[in-house]
Structure 1
Amino acid sequence: MAEPRRTWAGWLRPDSRAADAVVTVVAVLVIAVPSIHSSTSYDGLGAGAGLLASLVMTVALYWRRSRPVASAVVIYAAALAHFVLGAEIVVADLLIPVALYSVTAHGPRWAGRAALAGALLGSLILGVSIGMADLSSSAATVIVTAAVVVVAWSLGLLRRSRLERVETLVERARRLEIERDQQAQIATAAERARIAREMHDVVAHSLSVVIAQADGGRYAAAANPDAAVRALTTISQIGRDALADMRRILGVLRDPTGGEEAGTVAPQPVDADLDTLVEQVRGSGVRVSLVRLGDSRPLPPGAGLSVYRICQEALTNVLKHAGPTAAATVMLQWLPTRLVLEVNDDGRGAAASSDGAGHGLVGMRERVTLFGGTLLAGPRAGGGYRVRAEIPLPPAPATMAGPPPPLQPAAWPAPEGHR
């Protein structure tokens, strides 16, 4: 791809090096040439000093913004040199206020103050040198040159203030852009984690039920064809439900408005749907019971879905790891300040095999952490496996009956199982 052509406006913008070169050339033609001509009015060493100082002071303008301190030092030194060597005033001395302006606007603050003091001192020296012949002319010279110096210094301060303000705005815009990108990355990572949890829960649970039904139907096909038919029916229904869930998740990803058309999105499951979940798992051949304790009340937004998904993942682990004869109990207990979900099974426990992924426990812990809760998962002391999730809740109304005594969980082993 060819580079875009630069226009004259681009080359000669005020902050370009080309603009500095143009200013220097103009200064040589407008100031240096007359200054050289004026230097010839002096005799001997003064004429040479005036000529050389005129060239040096003019050329030093090129670095007035890139190296303002060095440029000002050269101009001031050249002016002092030609004054001491006999050329008291040359046209190039008009560049002293320019150097003062440049070093005040673009250099460090100390350099601007030092340049101001040096220029005022030069005005006084010039006035004293003239005052030997005419006192009134001397005073007028000091006043006029000092006024010019102060005006140049004031303009430099205004320019410096504007440059600092622009730099502050640019830096603020850059920081806002970085913060915006960081927030977008955080939001993207959080959304990816949420979608990953949803897809893992849907796919893992559905496939576990399908596998359990397929294995049971295969063994029962020879002796009980009706059992095989029921297993195939369950597999078909589970597959349709999982496909609908996946379509819903993918539809949200494809839709830029964040959802599908009205009336086409099924409601997300909540804690009230645990009966349906338990019945579904029970249909796969696992003995599962559901116990509810306490008086239910509204949950914070999203907490009901988290309770459902945690229970779903725990029962999926029972199907995958507990063994063919395992039984499970789901307990949902409402306490005054928290909701407790506990899933126990009497399966293999610590002896269960692991697939090494461990995404299920990670997803459950992430869901609980979103609400400031805790999750404990691991083999039970007497055999089997336990998952216990506690989610903080707002205090129960005072009119509610006293809460049932909290369950005392069995002692937990130090290591946590990987499921």
Structure 2
Amino acid sequence: MDKRHALYSWVRNNPFKVDLIATGLLFLAFGPVYLLADRPLLFLLSCSLLVPLAWRRIRPVAAAGAIVVVCLVQWAFAVEPVVGQLAVPLVIYAVAAYGPAWASRSVLALGVVGGVLLTTRYFTSPSESGILGLSIGVLYTVLIWMLVVVSWTLGDLTRVRRLQLQALEDRTRRLEIEQHQERLLAAADERSHIAREMHDIVAHSLSVIITQADGGRYAAASDPRIATETLKTIASAGRSSLKEMRRLLGVLRSDEQASTRPLPGLADLDELLLGFRAAGLPLRFEQSGTPRRNLPSGAELTAYRVLQEALTNVLKHAGSQAKANASMQWQSSGLRLEVTDDGHGAAADTATGDGNGLHGMGERISLYDGSLEAGPAAGGGFRVSAFIPYTEA
């Protein structure tokens, strides 16, 4: 099935090569007949009619013009019909299918006129007169007209189908662009909405905390019990703010319930890797270098999520026999993470996802001025490489 689709795609994308091959086959099929019969003039005439067929789709008007000129010369000098005459219905079909509308109508009219000229020149005999001769001429003319009309009709149907397919392709392309823009606008609107809610919560909570802290600081000098009550109020406001922020951030993920456990970091990598090995993924992990200083907790969470997402993609998409290698290297300027596999490609299906996967990795890393590289590995499989600098954005 894939080979057939590939062949169809090549034929569709290379019309000149296909027509050139077809013209060459026609030469091989009909050219030697006249050479073996020692009739070089008819061979040249046949070649002159067949050669323009190589341009019948990319230059249909020029090909039709060349064939018309050859036919007129043949008619003027009363040269007998040749095998190359089959180029006439082929070029009528090509102009009707691929040429402009005016050229399509013109070849139809020329075909009708040419049928009459061909009949009067070759298919009527001076010895046959009266009703019999007229009947034979009319019969040949009608047969030629039928061939012309059928060729033109098939070409016109091909033109209609081609224009319909092109319109559908254009519409599909526009719909994809519109859907992409709608997703971007929806995501921007949701981010703006969440940002406003978080701003309101944080601003209100911090205002309460700052006010209580300033008041408690001055009141503590005269009555330490007021300071104790003030600290309780501050703690309560902080907990309430944290709870609301967790609720808002929780809706950004598909989890049914936002987790209340501490956020993971690099210290939890052993547990993460153990889970993937238990799931059946052959995994090799290497760690090298010494950190110059600790990464912020958010950067550690980003590193954890990058490894988690990359290994999850390996488990999902790389195939049942795939093996993975993960490494964490501390460099002078930051942390380098790399995950490779020898399977079918760990991110084969993430491009059509809903914002997670590689896109989610890139967003996380960009918050800390990091970089992400993902793509097919040189020796096969897939490779994800991320770098997180020490400086926090």
Query: How many Å apart are 1:140 and its aligned residue?
Result: 2.5
Contact 2:75–2:118 (CA under 8 A) maintained in structure 1: no
Aligned position for 1:97: 89
Aligned position for 2:173: 174
Contact 1:36–1:51 (CA under 8 A) maintained in structure 2: yes
Q: Deviations over 1:265-324 (max 9, x none)?
A: xxxxxxxxxxxxxxxxxxxxxxxxxxxxxxxxxxxxxxxxxxxxxxxxxxxxxxxxxxxx
User: Structure 1 residues 168, 5: closer, same or farther in 2, change over 3 A?
Assistant: closer
- The within-5 A match list for 1:316-327 is none
User: Structure 1 residues 197, 14: closer, same or farther in 2, change over 3 A?
Assistant: closer
Aligned position for 1:69: 61
Q: 2 CA distance for matches of 1:85 and 1:37?
A: 23
Aligned position for 1:237: 236
User: Structure 1 residues 35, 109: closer, same or farther in 2, change over 3 A?
Assistant: farther
Pairing 1:109–2:101 present: yes
Aligned partner (choices 11, 14, 17) of residue 16 of structure 1: 14
SS in 1 for 2:138: helix
Aligned position for 1:212: 211
Q: How many residue pairs end up in the alignment?
A: 251
- The within-5 A match list for 1:13-162 is 13=11, 16-17=14-15, 18-34=17-33, 40=39, 48=41, 50-130=42-122, 131=124, 133=126, 134=128, 135-136=133-134, 137-162=136-161
Q: 2 CA distance for matches of 1:145 and 1:158?
A: 20
Q: 1 CA distance for matches of 2:207 and 2:257?
A: 28
- The within-5 A match list for 1:251-270 is 251-255=250-254, 260=257
Q: 2 CA distance for matches of 1:119 and 1:36?
A: 29
Q: Deviations over 1:245-264 (max 9, x none)?
A: 111111111225xx637xx9
**Which runs of 5 or more residues in structure 1 are unaligned?**
41-46, 265-419
> TM-score w.r.t. structure 2 length?
0.58
SS in 1 for 2:120: helix
Query: How many Å apart are 1:110 and its aligned residue?
Result: 1.1
Q: Deviations over 1:317-367 (max 9, x none)?
A: xxxxxxxxxxxxxxxxxxxxxxxxxxxxxxxxxxxxxxxxxxxxxxxxxxx
**Which runs of 5 or more residues in structure 2 are unaligned?**
261-393
Contact 1:21–1:62 (CA under 8 A) maintained in structure 2: yes
Q: 2 CA distance for matches of 1:232 and 1:35?
A: 109
Q: Deviations over 1:56-110 (max 9, x none)?
A: 3212111111121111111222222222234242211111000000110111111
Q: Deviations over 1:190-243 (max 9, x none)?
A: 111111111111111111111111111112221221221222111101000001
User: Structure 1 residues 35, 187: closer, same or farther in 2, change over 3 A?
Assistant: farther
Structure whose residues are more often helix by fraction: 2
Contact 2:219–2:227 (CA under 8 A) maintained in structure 1: yes
Query: How many Å apart are 1:14 and its aligned residue?
Result: 5.2
Q: 1 CA distance for matches of 2:101 and 2:35?
A: 33
SS in 2 for 1:254: coil
Counterpart residue identity of residue 115, structure 1: V
Query: How many Å apart are 1:9 and its aligned residue?
Result: 2.8
Query: How many Å apart are 1:6 and its aligned residue?
Result: 10
Identity of aligned pairs, percent? 40
Q: 1 CA distance for matches of 2:141 and 2:160?
A: 28
